[in-house]
Copies of this chain bind each other. A is one copy, B any other.
Amino acid sequence: MPETADELARRVAAHMLSREGTGPAWGIAIEEMREGYARLSMTITANMLNGYGTAHGGMIFALADTAFAYACNSRNVSSVVQQASIVFLTAVREGERLTAEASEHGLAGRSGVYSVIVRNTLDAEVAVFQGLSRAIGGTVIAAG
């Protein structure tokens, strides 16, 4: 039985996570993967806090950027992040579990645009991210 597009997306993301130095450092978990879509989660720990004692924007960006990377590589075409924009809406405290959901908004040629919404445990929006990817050729993993 051939691999479906969503199964391939899951296999690509699992491979990417297993290769990342940041994956264990940040405690990234894959919640759901589909073609052009990723949902990840991460818990804010003490070493992710800024001087106000809330989650550093860099860590919120890092989670969103990882969800974006898994979504834009989900068709197993190696793609890199060219540009990203993020708006921060709500402060996040230590111990909160964040979820980042990446969806495809547009594709043309080698370019793709994705939005990522980061939510807290109460499902309130913490940050909204938009990213531009560029396919660089080659595959992430061997075809299934």
Interface, chain A (partner B; CB < 8 A): 15-17, 19-22, 24-25, 45-53, 56-59, 61-63, 65-66, 69, 80-90, 105-109, 111, 113, 115, 117, 124-125, 127-128, 130, 132, 140
**7 additional A-B residue pairs with CB within 8 Å, beyond A19-B53, A58-B58:** A16-B51, A22-B56, A22-B58, A58-B62, A80-B88, A82-B87, A115-B130
* Nearest B residue (CB) for A54: B80
- Cβ contact of A82, chosen from B59, B66, B88, B117, cutoff 8 A: B88
From known contacts A83-B86, A89-B106, A108-B125, infer whether A49 and B62 are also in contact, taking CB-CB under 8 Å.
Answer: no
- Cβ contact of A49, chosen from B20, B48, B58, B63, cutoff 8 A: B20
User: Is chain A's interface secondary structure helix, strand, loop, or mixed overall?
Assistant: mixed
- Cβ contact of A22, chosen from B50, B82, B84, B85, cutoff 8 A: B50
* Nearest B residue (CB) for A56: B22
Chain B positions within 8 Å of A87 at CB level: 82-83, 106, 111, 113, 130, 132
- Sample (6) of A-B pairs whose CB atoms are under 8 Å apart: A20-B51, A22-B49, A22-B50, A57-B65, A80-B88, A83-B86
